[in-house]
Amino acid sequence: MAISRQRTGRTSTGSLTRVAVLVGALVVLWPQRAFNQQVSGTITGYVTDQSGSAVPGATVTATNVLTGVATKRSTESSGLYVFTNLVPGTYMVQVETPGFQKFVQKDIVLTVDSKVTVDAQMTLGAISQEVTVTAAPPALKMEKADVSTVISERVIESLPTVGRNVSQLELLSPGVMPYVFQQGPSENPSLGTTAVANGQFWGSNEFQIDGITDVEFGSTGMQIVVPPEDSVQEMKVTTADYDAELGQVSGLVSQYVTKGGTNDLHGSMFWFNRNSATFAADPFAEKLPGTGPKGKGTGPAPFNWNQFGGSLGGPVK
């Protein structure tokens, strides 16, 4: 009996081991969608003196103007400095090193998934002196080849959208158009816009919120969450020549970046009204008695929708 029990135990343990190995292999080999894509920005450049020689060991500080968060780096032997994983926003770059005047570059606009080059040419003098450059650096895209459209916070706030649905702004990108059939709330509870890019299948689109995949890829392929308009700082819509991390996409990539707050108390309020007084009538479905010329024509069905709300934000101390 003792031998039988030992054999039974060995067989059970071996079976469990084989099952665990099989499950682990399936998890590793099963095709999955990439998560945590890059939505932050990068600021880089070279620090040189007036003769063009590299200035190693210089202290470079990148400061987010709205939040006051500062990040420091030191230049390498070649004069190169790199700031990665920066939150999109407006930045100021300062370069300091003994024997040279301080270099300051203001109004650096860093958008989602972008790279800005700021080269600093140092001038001999006391560090208490300062050379300030107020003009923004050129926004030429030399580091990335993707075909994309960045929709800024001002555009999001200014352009009207039905129901304040920011996913409709994807249609502003060249090559993007609404799909002829829009999924209803039963399959698309977030009411995200079903769009096609350059004729590609709408189910091959990718949506991200702050770098996290926002796709119901196990079922309909629609957006799980459409962020509220007041929470979106900017959005980027890419339609071609994607980065390698987006190799699973053949349609569009819509990346939302939510607001991170500032050091000031701020907020917003809104109230929108839609009613049938401004609607066009459907001559086939809206034949209501008493509407139209002399009460014999067609008119829109009664409709009155009020949408209101607000937001409030400020520093956490």
Residues 252-288 have pLDDT tens digits of 899 998 887 777 788 888 898 888 888 887 776 666 6
Q: Is residue 30 part of a domain?
A: no
Distance CA 225, CA 162 (A): 17
What tokens were used for 36?
A: 């945590």
13-22, 150-159, 188-197, range with the lowest pLDDT: 13-22
Q: Is residue 140 part of a domain?
A: no
Percent share of the chain, pLDDT over 70: 76
Tens of pLDDT, residues 32-67: 333 344 677 889 999 999 899 999 999 999 999 888
Distance CA 171, CA 311 (A): 26
Number of domains in the chain: 3
Q: Is residue 251 part of a domain?
A: yes
Contact 93, 108 (CB under 8 A): yes
Please state the three-class secondary structure of 22-74 as a single string: HHHHHHHHCCCCCCCCCCCEEEEEEEECCCCCECCCCEEEEEECCCCCEEEEE
Distance CA 62, CA 41 (A): 12
One domain for residues 253 and 154: yes
Contact 215, 254 (CB under 8 A): no
More confident residue, 48 or 215: 48
Residue 243 phi/psi, 5° resolution?
Answer: -65, 160
Q: What share of the chain is helix, strand, coil (3-state, %, to 5)?
A: 20, 35, 45
- The reply to whether the predicted model has a pTM over 0.85 is no
Average pLDDT score, the chain: 79
Q: Is residue 264 part of a domain?
A: no
pLDDT score, position 135: 60
What tokens were used for 219?
A: 């079922």
One domain for residues 241 and 170: yes
| Cβ neighbours of 263 (radius 10 Å) | 12
The domain in which residue 305 lies consists of 270-312
Q: What is the CATH number of the domain that holds 77?
A: 2.60.40.1120
Nearest to 75 by CA among 93, 112, 48: 48
Q: What is the CATH number of the domain that holds 244?
A: 2.170.130.10
CA 269 to chain centre: 24
One domain for residues 228 and 250: yes
Choose one of 91, 110, 133: the last residue of a domain: 133
Helix or strand (DSSP H, E) at 10 = helix 2-29
What value, to the nearest 5°, has the Cα angle with vertex 250 and ends 249 and 254? 60
| Cβ neighbours of 184 (radius 10 Å) | 9
> What 3-state class would DSSP assign to 148?
strand
Hey, which residues does 63 pair with through a beta bridge?
A: 70, 92
Q: Is residue 32 part of a domain?
A: no
Distance CA 57, CA 47 (A): 10
Residue 111, pLDDT above cutoff 80: yes
One domain for residues 153 and 250: yes
Buried (b) or exposed (e) across 120-149, using 16+ Cβ within 10 A? bbbeeeeeeeebebeeebeeeeeeeeebbb
Nearest to 92 by CA among 137, 123, 138, 141: 137
Task: Give the β-pairing of 41-48 and 115-117.
Answer: parallel
What tokens were used for 209?
A: 């919120």
Stretch 157-178: mean pLDDT: 89
Q: Is residue 162 part of a domain?
A: yes
pLDDT score, position 91: 92
Q: Is residue 69 part of a domain?
A: yes
One domain for residues 66 and 109: yes
